[in-house]
Structure 1
Amino acid sequence: MSEQLPIVYVVSDSVGETAEFVVRAAASQFDGGKVEVRRISYVDDPEPIREVIQAAKEANGFIAFTLVQPHLREFIIQEAGNRNVYLVDIMGPMLEAFQNVLQMEPKRRPGLLHQLDDQYFRRVEAIEFAVKYDDGKDPRGLLRADLVLLGVSRTSKTPLSMYLAHKRLKCANVPLVPEVEPPEELFQISPKKIIGLTISPTELNLIRQERLKSLGLKAQANYANLDRILQELEYAEKLMRRIGCPVINVSNKAVEETASIVLDILKRGGTRQS
């Protein structure tokens, strides 16, 4: 019959998730992973370390730590040794390995991994936002968006929204059609958060013809009719002027190029026309 696992104290100068994950992964190899983990996060001075070492000694437990500040690492190693408390340095050996291989000093800033995680989750959230509020699906999303893109069909609103989502911007986009009233929410947000997309009639005509062919439809349909395109572009231009938002001409521009202009406009406070 296996003995009960001891209490493991996780000490970190950041959140401590990395150390706890390693502890639980190791514990899973023993008696189904039943272990009590007590996490002590954001340690930035020696006093909490003294208290944890005392608690671990009294509970006959041990300590796992991820401390990147040298003075804290040295303190916990020395104190645990003096009190005869078992200690596991989770981050130290890996830091030393990278330091030896790369021949450079680590930044020794707590929480960098957690910062990267935050960036990742913000990116995922922005992508989910772009999908949810694509093509005017739910006008309520306009009020929560970092940026709203306007334009007639086939002006790259969706791919641009997705590209900017990877830059952690929550983008919604609204298709402009003369027969459909724009959502009221569009006039409730700052014009600086709105960017209009326009395109040359001839280029849009070619793009729409190719789109119809890919769908197995006749290229002569009204969707690709030049007079219809001119009507749509005129309507979109009037609406964008009414709103007072910046406008980008996406003719012959790759999505990456348009995105760069968008980011520049946002940086300058929504004043540039292109």
Structure 2
Amino acid sequence: MLPIVYVLSDSVGETGEFVVRAVASQFNGGHVDIRRVPYIDDHESIVEAFELAKEANAFIAYTLVLPNLRNFVKIKAEEYNIPAVDLLGDLMETFSNVHGKQPNYSPGSMRQLDADYFKRVEAIEFAVKYDDGKDPRGILRADVVLVGVSRTSKTPLSMYLAHKRLKVANVPIAPEVTPPEELFLVPSKKCIGLTINPDQLNEIRQERLKTLGLTRNANYAKFERILEELEYAEKIIKRIGCPTINVSNKAVEETAGIILDILKKGGKISG
């Protein structure tokens, strides 16, 4: 017969189940019957859990944050003569003693951290998928769309903003390529145009060619070509009607800060 453990939690009980399974793996090949009792926020739910544990000849493990609920479990454990293991209490107390601070006593905090983490991962995956105009369908799904000529920091900015949990698509502008129609369907307040000083762009592209082992005379880095691209990009950005940021001599973090301010003022993201 499998050992039975009731896991009591003020959230979904994932943390408690993980710990119990980790310990169970040291016994009987890890086979254990775990029964979660989630979202506990009152004494009645705890009493019901002890009644169930008594009938099943089980013991209890709990990850309750609020002190009054944890204390109530200890009282009921003595009353029912059922072992009850506090999986968080001792660790919280140690943190409190070491740091000289009281915990927030906020149920579900770990779940919120997990949600933030997965939202960040989703945003990063989005930025990679819709980088450099690979798929114009991402333009209408993005939180922000970056538009500009090659080497205006579109990709680094996309990744930086993705770590802020924003879904970013970026679209390169070149005279020979017709911009995707989605670019003119998306609300202008979701778009950011990027421009740069032609002299600085010339230097950046010359270095890029050197890195690739190509001749510095390639059309990509010719000054006339750069002026043509910047002029064309300016027309497209004006047609979109979106704000423009000159990224000349700006670090990615600085430009990203400006973008975040623009989005906040436009109501796209909260402070």
What residue identity is the alignment partner of 2:60? I
The separation in 2 between residues aligned to 1:106 and 1:78, in whole angstroms, is 22
In the TM superposition, what whole-angstrom CA distance separates every residue of 1:189-214 from its partner, at most 9, and x where no partner exists? 10011000000111101110110011
The separation in 2 between residues aligned to 1:270 and 1:230, in whole angstroms, is 34
The separation in 2 between residues aligned to 1:38 and 1:19, in whole angstroms, is 11
Q: Which residue of the other structure, out of 189, 214, 218, is the alignment partner of 2:215?
A: 218
| TM-score, normalization by structure 1 | 0.96
The separation in 1 between residues aligned to 2:96 and 2:129, in whole angstroms, is 44
Matched, 1:243 2:240: yes
State the Cα distance separating 1:5 from its structure 2 match: 3.4
Match of 1:153, SS state, is coil
Worse-superposed segment, 129-138 or 77-86:
77-86
- Stretches of structure 1 that go unaligned for 5 or more consecutive residues are none
Partner residue, 1:106: 103
Partner residue, 1:34: 31
Match of 2:232, SS state, is helix
Match of 2:36, SS state, is strand
The separation in 1 between residues aligned to 2:210 and 2:102, in whole angstroms, is 58
Inter-CA distance 270–209: structure 2 relative to 1 (3 Å threshold): farther
Q: Which residue of the other structure, out of 78, 87, 106, is the alignment partner of 1:90?
A: 87
The separation in 2 between residues aligned to 1:191 and 1:7, in whole angstroms, is 58
What percent identity do the matched residue pairs reach?
A: 68
Q: Which residue of the other structure, out of 43, 49, 68, is the alignment partner of 2:65?
A: 68
The 5-angstrom pairing of residues 110-129 of structure 1 reads 110-129=107-126
| TM-score, normalization by structure 2 | 0.97
The separation in 2 between residues aligned to 1:217 and 1:239, in whole angstroms, is 30
The separation in 1 between residues aligned to 2:106 and 2:12, in whole angstroms, is 13
In the TM superposition, what whole-angstrom CA distance separates every residue of 1:2-46 from its partner, at most 9, and x where no partner exists? xx3321100011121111100000111111111111111111111
Matched, 1:182 2:186: no
In the TM superposition, what whole-angstrom CA distance separates every residue of 1:111-146 from its partner, at most 9, and x where no partner exists? 111111111111111111111100000000111111
What residue identity is the alignment partner of 2:209? L
The separation in 1 between residues aligned to 2:227 and 2:81, in whole angstroms, is 82
The separation in 2 between residues aligned to 1:69 and 1:155, in whole angstroms, is 51
The 5-angstrom pairing of residues 154-233 of structure 1 reads 154-233=151-230
Worse-superposed segment, 151-160 or 183-192:
183-192
Worse-superposed segment, 68-77 or 129-138:
68-77
Instruction: Give the alignment's Cα RMSD to 1 decimal.
Output: 1.2
